[in-house]
Amino acid sequence: MQRPRRRPCHRERPLNQLYSGGTAGSLIVSAIARYGDRPALADGHVRWSYRDFGDVVARFISLFRNLGLRKGDALSILSGNRAESWAAISAAAVMGLRYTPLHPMAAEDDHAFILEDAEISALIVESGKFAARGLALRSRVPGLKHLLSFGALDGARDLLAELPNVTPAPLVDESSTGDICWLAYTGGTTGRSKGVMLPHRVIVAMALAIYADWDWPADIRYLAATPISHAAGITLFPVMLRGGFARLVQGFDAETYCRVVHEEKITATFLVPTLIYALIDAPELRAKYDMSSLQMIVYGAAPMSPDRLREGVGIFGNVFVQLYGQTEAPQIITTMRKIDHDDSKPGRLGSCGRANPMVEVKLFDAEMREVATGEPGEICVRGSLVMDGYWKRPDATEDAFRGGWLHTGDVAVKDADGFFYIVDRTKDMIISGGFNIYPREVEDALMAHHAVASAAVIGIPDAKWGEAVKAFVVLKAGANNSAEELQAHVKDKRGAPWSPKTIDFVAEIPVTGLGKIDRKALRAPYWEGRTRGVA
């Protein structure tokens, strides 16, 4: 006798359907539908409402489909901060394409490596500034199928010319939670950069955590002055989540920045510490332009001197929010909120804040034992913010995930109130005469001196000590203080081993494209042909 067919129970529903949705693509589609005629995006050349933005995104989708791009294909963009770049990035998210950012300040070799390693199908370049680079990359990367451009460029398809002539595609999210949304490459400060696989689930978790944990103003008018290929851009997701307005500017110029804040009544922004220092040191611009609309200045990507932060609070008020994250766990491992910038708590301005509620953060020693309160350990992370791993690098992924945690490579201590204080990168530690010295400890001591505008510290080879502490210092305008005075200052604040053996006075500190001190460039003249004792 034939047995009756059993009706499926709820546990047998396909899980990939039951738990679909919640992607970066759906976030963009929802924002466009929700906010319609509200102002969305401007760059000095165009100014779009959410409806306008949606129309451009839909046209990019049609263009990409006409090229033969389909879900899972890879797109990269080399451009300054322009509205069309964000529209193309958003179209990629909706289509389920894999997007790889290229930093506009990186070298050609770095760009070529990333395009080849990431298996990029289509590259968009901004004509003019990046025209020569785009043509060079096309000749160097055989797997690159399509060279596209914003503006006329011989040998490339001009997307700006084609956009008005295509029919907008329906805005239907085709992405999946587990798809790679951004394949973002690390800075490569210790060798070849690695592709970090950030699925849609990470982008959405980041956007929700950022909106929940930062002190956003009620009326979000966000200014992105640093490249939207990196932190300033990925922050556009939470801005659009809440229907905010974003103003993009092409690179940081102090006067342009202050003028745009004044004209657009900007309420929120993201800046790396060196750019905040530039605003602090420009009283004439602050007198010329009204910047009182600023209600939240987010800083991060590099440590900020507590003394300079104190200056910033004195000038701009209690508007500062600090982020700490990395490409492998973007933007918000910890947050230092406005209320946390409490100068009555000794040392508190040197903290990077508390862990965001969506991740678990612990400090471990080399044997994966959790360290005691007040003891240094490596920051390790678990939770919805963590990457899927490194692209085509199972060895590196296994090492980063050893013990079931993401190892950040950053050393910190945690106080009894749960605030983390980053000491430095493990690879930057200087071993001098048996002492473990972290550059940030020396840099903070130097920048506590009234005459120092900025400072960078490295270890250099030394026959007696193994490594010697060397500092590079930018003095404030009009200052002429001696190396001996600064050495004595550091000795007084930290102790003799931390006092730099030598100090070079320089006009500026070299930084990477992400605004971090470029220690690799500073070390190069001293370590060429040698191997440091620290990885």
Q: Tell me, what's the pLDDT at 16?
A: 59
Domains within the chain, CATH numbers bracketed: 47-186 (3.40.50.980), 252-426 (3.40.50.12780), 432-527 (3.30.300.30)
pLDDT score of 469 more than 60: yes
Q: Please state the rounded mean pLDDT for residues 139-168.
A: 96
More confident residue, 300 or 40: 40
pLDDT score of 196 more than 50: yes
pLDDT score of 413 more than 70: yes
Cα 198 to the chain's mean position, in Å? 13
Q: How many CB atoms lie within 10 A of CB 357?
A: 11
Geometric angle at alpha carbon 285, from 279 and 286, rounded to 5°: 75
Joined tokens for residue 212: 């929940």
Provide, rounded to the nearest whole percent, the portion of the chain with pLDDT above 90.
Answer: 70
Task: Identify whether the C-beta of residue 172 lies closer than 8 Å to the C-beta of residue 32.
Answer: no
Q: Residue 207 half-sphere exposure, CB side, CA atoms within 13 Å?
A: 25
Sign, CA dihedral 398-399-402-405, equals negative
**How is 296-359 classified by DSSP, letter by letter?**
EEEE-SS---HHHHHHHHHHH-S-EEEEEEETTEEEEEEEE-GGG--TTSTTGGG--BEEPTTE
More confident residue, 491 or 98: 98
Joined tokens for residue 279: 């605003």
pLDDT in tens, 257-267: 999 999 999 99
Angle between helices 24-35 and 200-213 (to 10 degrees): 50
Q: How do 296-299 and 320-326 pair as beta strands?
A: parallel
Q: Please state the rounded mean pLDDT for residues 169-178.
A: 95
pLDDT score of 67 more than 70: yes
Distance between CA atoms of residues 403 and 500, nearest Å: 37
Lowest mean pLDDT among 16-25, 60-69, 130-139, 201-210: 16-25
pLDDT score of 245 more than 90: yes
Residues 6+ apart with CB under 8 A from 67: 122, 146, 148
pLDDT score of 76 more than 90: yes
pLDDT score of 535 more than 50: no
Dihedral of CA atoms 138, 140, 144, 145 in degrees, nearest 10, equals 60
Q: Tell me, what's the pLDDT at 426?
A: 63
Q: Tell me, what's the pLDDT at 425?
A: 67
- Token pair 């069309």: residue: 84
Q: Please state the rounded mean pLDDT for residues 320-327.
A: 93
pLDDT score of 190 more than 60: no
Task: Identify whether the C-beta of residue 40 lies closer than 8 Å to the C-beta of residue 240.
Answer: yes
Sorting pLDDT into bands at 50, 70 and 90, what band is 10? very low
Distance between CA atoms of residues 317 and 338, nearest Å: 10
Contacts 24+ apart (CB under 8 A), 372-375: 373/414, 373/415, 373/416, 374/413, 374/414, 374/415, 374/416, 375/413
pLDDT score of 13 more than 50: no
Joined tokens for residue 495: 């102790």
Sorting pLDDT into bands at 50, 70 and 90, what band is 530? low
Helix/strand/coil for 365: coil
Distance between CA atoms of residues 187 and 327, nearest Å: 9
Distance between CA atoms of residues 220 and 105, nearest Å: 28
More confident residue, 8 or 252: 252
Q: Round the CA-based radius of gyration of the chain to a whole number and report it.
A: 24
Q: Please state the rounded mean pLDDT for residues 513-532.
A: 73
Task: Identify whether the C-beta of residue 333 lies closer than 8 Å to the C-beta of residue 359.
Answer: yes
Q: Tell me, what's the pLDDT at 8?
A: 46
Taking the model in full, what pTM does it have? 0.81
> For every residue of 75-109, which 3-state class applies, written as one string?
EEEECCCCHHHHHHHHHHHHHCCEEEECCCCCCHH
Q: Please state the rounded mean pLDDT for residues 288-312.
A: 91
78 phi, psi to nearest 5 deg: -120, 100
Task: Identify whether the C-beta of residue 486 lies closer than 8 Å to the C-beta of residue 449.
Answer: yes
Q: Which of 425, 339, 413 is nearest to 376 (CA)?
A: 413
Q: Which of 518, 484, 517, 489 is nearest to 502 (CA)?
A: 484
Cα 444 to the chain's mean position, in Å? 22
- Average per-residue pLDDT in the chain? 90
Sorting pLDDT into bands at 50, 70 and 90, what band is 19? confident
pLDDT score of 12 more than 60: no
pLDDT in tens, 100-111: 999 887 788 889
